[in-house]
């Protein structure tokens, strides 16, 4: 094992620390969703599914990326297995992206048609939404099985990710990953804007808003969406100013790619906690009925 530099130690500390923090936040979020007594509700199930994706990706940051830096091995950017692991992480990221789209659709339906939503967002249809998010995410994983041409790898010496330097890498990065992200984000913005218009219309008619909890969950969905926009814009735009000069811009490149990717999954869990914590507290404060 090669001797670690001070930069290597710092990078490992950041990735491990942020990863463990993210695992804790998403683990706690999932626990709150279960203990809150509303896990049978559609939105809570979508949140739980998204936290699961976050948890998996963060676990790979902790158990794969950080150890690769410690070992300073070429395995992370030469081995077919490593290429598949990296592609799998991208697929999990895409699951998170599609999960936020499903949450946006959920909020639109519940707020626009509160009575009909009980039938529309039943258990079967909710499972379909979750299944679609995971299915679409893993469709992105299929091209990565051509490990000789189509891949994304983690460079342990530079702490950053790079797609294969060919046409397939361009398609994977700019078309499938970035293009899909932008398309999904446009859909989310469209749905959210329509939801806002519906909220304003209903408030004018009813002179107020009775479903405060639905507004709260809509705010949660919007906040989580904003975090993903920050990650996407940094990973594909701002980082371009730094990744070409590894010697002088190692840390800016790291913070606009690897760090922000991991941070997004971490913060995603933290955002969820305050919006659902009261359900857990309220359930715990209910006194047992003595027969």
Instruction: Report whether pLDDT(82) > 50.
Output: yes
Q: Within a 10 A sphere around the Cβ of 250, how many other Cβ atoms? A: 18
Enter the pTM of the model: 0.90
What tens digit of pLDDT does each residue of 195-226 get?
Answer: 888 887 877 666 555 566 677 778 888 888 88
Phi, psi of 154 (to 5 degrees): -105, 120
Q: Which of the four pLDDT bands, split at 50, 70 and 90, describes residue 291?
A: very low
Whole-number pLDDT of residue 267 = 94
SS (H, E, C) 165-226: CCHHHHHHHHHHHHHHHHHHHHHHHHHHHHHHHHHHHHHHHHCCCCCHHHHHHHHHHHHHHH
What tens digit of pLDDT does each residue of 94-140 get?
Answer: 999 999 999 999 989 988 888 888 899 999 999 999 999 999 999 99
As a whole-number percent, the residues of the chain with pLDDT over 90 amount to: 59
Domains of the chain: residue spans and CATH = 6-273 (1.20.1070.10)
Q: Residue 108 burial (CB < 10 Å; 0-12/13-18/19+)?
A: buried
Whole-number pLDDT of residue 205 = 67
What tens digit of pLDDT does each residue of 27-75 get?
Answer: 999 999 998 877 888 999 999 999 999 999 999 999 999 999 999 888 9
Instruction: Report whether pLDDT(238) > 50.
Output: yes
Whole-number pLDDT of residue 196 = 85
Range with the lowest mean pLDDT among 3-17, 198-212, 270-284?
A: 198-212
Range with the lowest mean pLDDT among 81-85, 141-145, 161-165, 219-223?
A: 219-223
Taking residues 138-155, report their average pLDDT.
94
Whole-number pLDDT of residue 275 = 85
Whole-number pLDDT of residue 277 = 82
Closest residue by Cα to residue 54 from 278, 224, 195: 224
Whole-number pLDDT of residue 28 = 95
| DSSP states along 122-179 | -HHHHHHHHHHHHHHHHHTTGGGG-TTTS-EEEETTTTEEEE-SSHHHHIIIIIIIII
The H or E element spanning position 42 is helix 42-60
Q: Which of the four pLDDT bands, split at 50, 70 and 90, describes residue 287?
A: very low
Instruction: Report whether pLDDT(240) > 90.
Output: no
Whole-number pLDDT of residue 215 = 75
Range with the lowest mean pLDDT among 168-172, 200-204, 252-256?
A: 200-204
Closest residue by Cα to residue 8 from 154, 157, 155, 153: 157
Whole-number pLDDT of residue 210 = 52
As given in the structure block, the two tokens for residue 108 are: 């639109």
End-to-end Cα, the chain, rounded Å: 66
272 and 27 Cβ atoms separated by less than 8 Å:
no
Phi, psi of 28 (to 5 degrees): -65, -40
């Amino acid at each position: 094992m090669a001797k670690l530099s001070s930069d290597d130690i710092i990078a490992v500390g950041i990735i491990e620390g942020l990863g463990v923090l993210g695992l804790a936040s998403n683990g706690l979020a999932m626990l709150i969703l279960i203990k809150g007594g509303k896990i049978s509700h559609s939105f809570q199930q979508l949140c739980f599914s998204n936290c699961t994706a976050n948890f998996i990706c963060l676990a790979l940051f902790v158990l794969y990326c950080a150890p690769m830096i410690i070992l300073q091995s070429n395995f992370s950017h030469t081995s077919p297995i490593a290429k598949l692991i990296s592609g799998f992480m991208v697929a999990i990221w895409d699951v998170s992206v599609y999960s936020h789209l499903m949450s946006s659709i959920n909020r639109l339906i519940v707020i626009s048609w509160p009575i009909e939503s009980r039938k529309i967002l039943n258990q079967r249809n909710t499972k379909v939404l979750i299944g679609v998010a995971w299915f679409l995410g893993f469709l992105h994983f299929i091209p990565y099985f051509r490990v000789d041409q189509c891949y994304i790898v983690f460079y342990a010496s530079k702490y950053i990710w790079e797609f294969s330097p060919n046409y397939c890498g361009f398609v994977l990065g700019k078309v499938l990953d970035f293009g899909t992200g932008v398309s999904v984000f446009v859909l989310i913005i469209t749905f959210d804007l329509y939801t806002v218009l519906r909220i304003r219309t209903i408030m004018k008619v009813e002179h107020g808003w009775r479903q405060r909890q639905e507004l709260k969950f809509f705010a949660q969905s919007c906040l989580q969406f904003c975090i993903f926009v920050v990650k996407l814009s940094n990973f594909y735009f701002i980082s371009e100013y730094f990744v070409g000069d590894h010697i002088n811009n190692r840390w800016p490149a790291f913070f606009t790619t690897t760090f922000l990717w991991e941070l997004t999954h971490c913060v995603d869990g933290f955002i969820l906690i305050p919006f659902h914590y009261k359900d857990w507290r309220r359930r715990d404060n209910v006194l047992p009925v003595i027969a």
